[in-house]
Amino acid sequence: MSTTSTAPFPDKAYVQELFLGLFGSGLEVTESDAPVSDLSKSIAAFYVDDSGEPQRALVCDLAFSNSTGAALTMIPPGVVKDAIKDGEIPGNVMANLNEVLNICVNLFAETSDKHLVLGEILNLGEVPAKLAEITQHASFDVKVPRYGSGVVSLVAF
């Protein structure tokens, strides 16, 4: 992905507010110049309109996926560290991540004029390389207290 952003995306404050609601105080969000680049080690969630057409997506790197998934139900941070080192997302963390991604539809609540719901989630190794060709995105580094930081890219089609 390049770093252009012409589509309407939420700003840093909006993104931070949503994640603060999920993970509590101490969470930090910063804008990231670098989008998620290693798609082979990423998760992608697609948000579809009422006709089923993808309108937005989130691309989550391994660290974001593990840290947010684990933090949701306070799975021990050590699990995250080991998972990132092994290039994996444990099953219980992935189940939680699905719920995080479901809630993240509200990242687009004020910047999409369509009603969106979470559609398909592509797991590690399933994210197509062509997603890197999409130029409309905004990326954020999300640091979850005790769990570490990871990058999530918001994508518009």
Partner 1 sequence: MKILVVDDSKAMRMIVIRTLKQAGFDDCVTLEASSGVEALEVIAKERPGLILSDWNMPEMKGIDLLKKLRADGNETPFGFITSESGEDIANIASEAGAKFIVTKPFTAQKFGDVLTPILA
Residues that bind partner 1 (CB under 8 A): 18, 21-22, 72-73, 95-96, 98-99, 102-103, 105-106, 109, 115, 117-118
Which residue's CB is nearer to partner 1, number 30 or number 106? 106
Contact 129, 57 (CB under 8 A): no
Which residue's CB is nearer to partner 1, number 118 or number 132? 118
Which residue's CB is nearer to partner 1, number 58 or number 134? 58
- Closest contact distance (angstroms) between CB of 40 and partner 1 is 26
- Closest contact distance (angstroms) between CB of 95 and partner 1 is 6
DSSP per-residue letters across 42-95? EEEEEEE-TTS-EEEEEEEEHHHHHHHHHHHTT--HHHHHHHHHHT---HHHHH
Which residue's CB is nearer to partner 1, number 18 or number 122? 18
- Closest contact distance (angstroms) between CB of 22 and partner 1 is 4
CA angle 121, 126, 128 (to 5 degrees): 100
As a whole number of Å, the CA-based R_g of the chain is 14
